Amino acid sequence: FVSELCLGTMTFGAAGQNAQWGLIASLDQKGVNEIVGRSIAAGVNFFDTADVYSFGESERLLGQSLRDLGIARSSVVIATKVHAATGDGPNQRGSSRGHIMDSVDASLERLQLDHIDLYQLHG
């Protein structure tokens, strides 16, 4: 089953990365592990992140937390998103097939997972 509540991870990441994320993100690995652990204990098994949250740091922290806490991949539902622009290069923009496929690979690597359960185009 998928829990009725989903833990959003936009606040996972370093506070000083830039002006936008510095206002939102402030959780390091220790804080992320605590929040993810408490969420699992409360019955939450659905986690939402995005490649744009702290420039991918949110995905990395979530993936590491699942490993640190020994949470089985089969027991959680992971949603992430591709953002229309994640860099300055010509293939790091838009919702082209190439950009989306590259973004899937990068998200899987940061999350340390072999699949994503729900993949969305971030607005």
Residues 107-120 pLDDT 10s: 999 999 999 999 99
Closest by alpha carbon to 123, among 87, 82, 92, 79? 82
- Residues of the chain falling short of pLDDT 70: 15-25, 85-87, 91-94
Q: What is the DSSP letter of 95?
A: S
Among candidate residues 13, 53, 56, 61, the one labeled active-site is 53
As its CATH architecture, domain 6-121 has Alpha-Beta Barrel (3.20)
Pull the structure tokens for residue 24: 């939102």
Confidence (pLDDT) at 6? 99
Catalytic-residue membership of 53: yes
Q: pTM (2 decimals)? A: 0.88
Confidence (pLDDT) at 84? 73
Confidence (pLDDT) at 76? 99
- The domain spans of the chain are 6-121
